[in-house]
Amino acid sequence: MELKLDRSPISQVSGHVVVYGVFQDEGVDKALQEANVALPEDVLNQLQELTVFEKFKGKSGEILSFYPGDRLPCRRFVIAGLGKRDDVGTTIRKTASNLARQFGCKEQYRRVCLALRSNGDAALVQTATEGWILGSYSFMVYKTRSEEAEKEKKPVAELVFLDETMDEHEFNQASHAGKVIAECTMFARDLINEPACSMTPSRLAQIAASLSNDRVSCRIIEEDEAARLGMGSFLGVSRGSHQPPKFIELRYQPPESNFFAAIAGKGITFDSGGLSIKTAQGMETMKYDMAGAAATLAVIKALSELQVPVRVLAVIAACENMPGGGATRPGDILTAMNGKTIEVNNTDAEGRLTLADALSWVCKEKPDAVIDIATLTGAVVTALGKVAAGIMSNNDELVSSIIAAGKKGGEKFWQLPLFDEYKESLKSDFADLKNAGSRGEAGSSSAGMFLKEFVDGVPWAHLDIAGTAWTEKDKDEYSKGGTGFGVRTLCYYLLEKGKYEVTR
């Protein structure tokens, strides 16, 4: 799909669909006047009649349309609600996604033009581009579909933004960034939606290696080497599976950089719970327990495509949590790379065991910030539902920057505490600590507290995306399955750190 800017007045624009955005309660009349669209009198009258009759308010999601015949050069003219003017920075993403659902994939719509009232604001174009592309996503790899249906679903060839005042250079920059971020989010979704039988640790490692280029290098640490390096906590999780574990390390090193970040993604390609086995319902969607890893890979891909001037070390301790004959037993004691011993009282609290070694590993290089992203606890779903991810940290400034980046990306975070008292629940009689706290008591914070034991002297934030990484509904920019949550936030956070030229 090509992204274009057209500065001509809307009355002269040709396309299969032209969408004109109207803010809530501004009135169609006023909206059309403001943009100086110079629509023919009879078209204006018809729009007027239509909006009055249909009680059109301009709320996000509202849509009206008609076929102007030879009165306008476009085939179908659409009026779309943009919601309140003050909220447009956030609603535009949802509005664009919903427009893409209706007009983005029809064979007869090759050229779609959007007049979203951006008024020279390139950041709006960036957000709308993201929304449009994400709204068009679906995972169809394993569906047998008729040729007919295949033909009918065809993404538009040209998406044209109409804005008479937009700077061409800013447009190109913003629409490109929006496109890359959305496509990398879809890349993450594809990895998550792929079943665990195909998205194994080895496959994840292969995909990570395929991201290599002149700025991205990849190293895969195999089981024997991981053992030599002392990654006993990570390997303890993998032991019950036939799939070999892979410790993936990716480095994005641009020629210039002014910030060094490390990202650790939880990469459990399937979480059965191990010997502390989950219920049938509890493991039904556990292929998404590598959503943190998927986001991590997607962020590296986006940074390298956008050539953002920040250095990033990304690691994924990828393995499967299975109850095979070699599996770690409750009561077993593992030694992590930083020398701490862990009594495994619950093999289903495996994410933190893999992250313990991943965090120890990255902290050795003293990055400016360490961020881990993980589908870590059911408790975060209880606390925040599917609305927001939990964020826990040893550094308030880092928390504010991530929450702010999340706002730009349309992803919500809510801070949960890491009070010292939570450490009590991780006391073990036989080892330095145990991996699971008391059931039903601050599960997300005690998991965060466990991770903190493996972070040494660097600003660190832990993102618990267990609730937000997966959805059962097609809604706004989300489609059933993996959401790619975190990709946008981490991209915006690192774009900001790299002082990458973004307009908002």
Catalytic residues: 278, 352
Instruction: Please tell me the total number of residues recorded for the chain in this structure.
Output: 504
Q: Smallest gap, in angstroms, from Cβ of residue 252 to Zn ion?
A: 26
Stretch that binds Zn ion, among 43-51, 103-111, 185-193, 271-279 (CB under 5 A): 271-279
Q: Smallest gap, in angstroms, from Cβ of residue 375 to Zn ion?
A: 6
288 residue type, one letter? Y
Residue whose C-beta lies closest to ligand BES? 378
When CB distances are held under 5 to 8 angstroms depending on the partner's kind, the choice from Zn ion, ligand BES, none that residue 378 binds is ligand BES
Q: Is 89 exposed, middle or buried (0-12, 13-18, 19+ CB in 10 A)?
A: middle
Q: Does 349 bind ligand BES (CB under 6 A)?
A: yes
Contact yes or no for 465/158 (Cβ under 8 A)? no
When CB distances are held under 5 to 8 angstroms depending on the partner's kind, the choice from ligand BES, Zn ion, none that residue 416 binds is none
- What DSSP letter does each residue of 479-496 carry, written as one string? -SEE--TTHHHHHHHHHH
Q: Which helix or strand (DSSP H or E) is residue 469 part of?
A: none
Q: Of the candidates 6, 223, 249, 271, which one interacts with ligand BES according to CB under 6 A?
A: 271
Residue 33 neighbours by CB distance under 10 Å: 12
Size of the site for Zn ion (CB under 5 A): 6
Q: Does 271 bind Zn ion (CB under 5 A)?
A: yes
Q: Does 377 bind ligand BES (CB under 6 A)?
A: yes
Q: Smallest gap, in angstroms, from Cβ of residue 340 to Zn ion?
A: 20
Q: Of the candidates 170, 348, 357, 411, which one interacts with Zn ion according to CB under 5 A?
A: 348
When CB distances are held under 5 to 8 angstroms depending on the partner's kind, the choice from ligand BES, Zn ion, none that residue 373 binds is none
Rounded to whole angstroms, the Cα distance separating 257 from 498 reads 7
Residue 275 gets the label, from left (phi > 0), alpha (psi -120 to 50) or beta, of alpha
Tokens, residue 293: 């890893």
Please identify, using beta-carbon distances, which residue of 283 and 455 lies nearer to ligand BES: 283
Q: Smallest gap, in angstroms, from Cβ of residue 271 to ligand BES?
A: 5
Q: Does 466 bind ligand BES (CB under 6 A)?
A: yes
- Tell me the per-residue interface mask from 291 to 310 with Zn ion, x by CB under 5 A, - otherwise: --------------------
Please identify, using beta-carbon distances, which residue of 271 and 357 lies nearer to Zn ion: 271
DSSP E strand stretches across 158-234 = 158-162, 216-221
371 residue type, one letter? I
Size of the site for ligand BES (CB under 6 A): 16
Rounded to whole angstroms, the Cα distance separating 348 from 285 reads 15
Contact yes or no for 477/295 (Cβ under 8 A)? no
Q: Smallest gap, in angstroms, from Cβ of residue 417 to ligand BES?
A: 17
60 residue type, one letter? S
Residue 230 gets the label, from left (phi > 0), alpha (psi -120 to 50) or beta, of left
- What DSSP letter does each residue of 265-282 carry, written as one string? EEEEEEE--TTSPPPHHH
Q: Of the candidates 6, 350, 411, 477, which one interacts with ligand BES according to CB under 6 A?
A: 350
Please identify, using beta-carbon distances, which residue of 323 and 351 lies nearer to ligand BES: 351
Please identify, using beta-carbon distances, which residue of 232 and 443 lies nearer to ligand BES: 443
Rounded to whole angstroms, the Cα distance separating 404 from 410 reads 10
Q: Does 289 bind Zn ion (CB under 5 A)?
A: yes
Q: Smallest gap, in angstroms, from Cβ of residue 378 to Zn ion?
A: 9
Q: Does 383 bind ligand BES (CB under 6 A)?
A: no
Q: Of the candidates 131, 292, 351, 467, which one interacts with Zn ion according to CB under 5 A?
A: 351
Residue 447 gets the label, from left (phi > 0), alpha (psi -120 to 50) or beta, of alpha
Contact yes or no for 240/326 (Cβ under 8 A)? yes
Q: Does 348 bind ligand BES (CB under 6 A)?
A: yes
Rounded to whole angstroms, the Cα distance separating 356 from 231 reads 9
Stretch that binds ligand BES, among 97-105, 345-353, 386-394, 411-419 (CB under 6 A): 345-353
Q: Does 9 bind ligand BES (CB under 6 A)?
A: no
Rounded to whole angstroms, the Cα distance separating 303 from 186 reads 15
Contact yes or no for 274/348 (Cβ under 8 A)? yes
In the DSSP assignment, the letter for residue 424 is G
Q: Rule CB under 5 A: which of 152-171 touch Zn ion? A: none
Q: Does 372 bind Zn ion (CB under 5 A)?
A: no
Q: Rule CB under 6 A: which of 279-308 touch ligand BES? A: 289
Q: Smallest gap, in angstroms, from Cβ of residue 234 to ligand BES?
A: 14
Contact yes or no for 37/10 (Cβ under 8 A)? yes
Q: Smallest gap, in angstroms, from Cβ of residue 443 to ligand BES?
A: 6
Q: Of the candidates 265, 351, 390, 482, which one interacts with ligand BES according to CB under 6 A?
A: 351
Q: Rule CB under 5 A: which of 9-48 touch Zn ion? A: none
DSSP E strand stretches across 201-308 = 216-221, 246-252, 260-271
Q: Does 345 bind ligand BES (CB under 6 A)?
A: no
Number of H helices, E strands in the chain: 16, 19
Task: By CB under 5 A, name the binding residues for Zn ion.
Answer: 268, 271, 289, 348, 350-351
Task: By CB under 6 A, name the binding residues for ligand BES.
Answer: 271, 289, 346, 348-351, 375-379, 381, 436, 443, 466
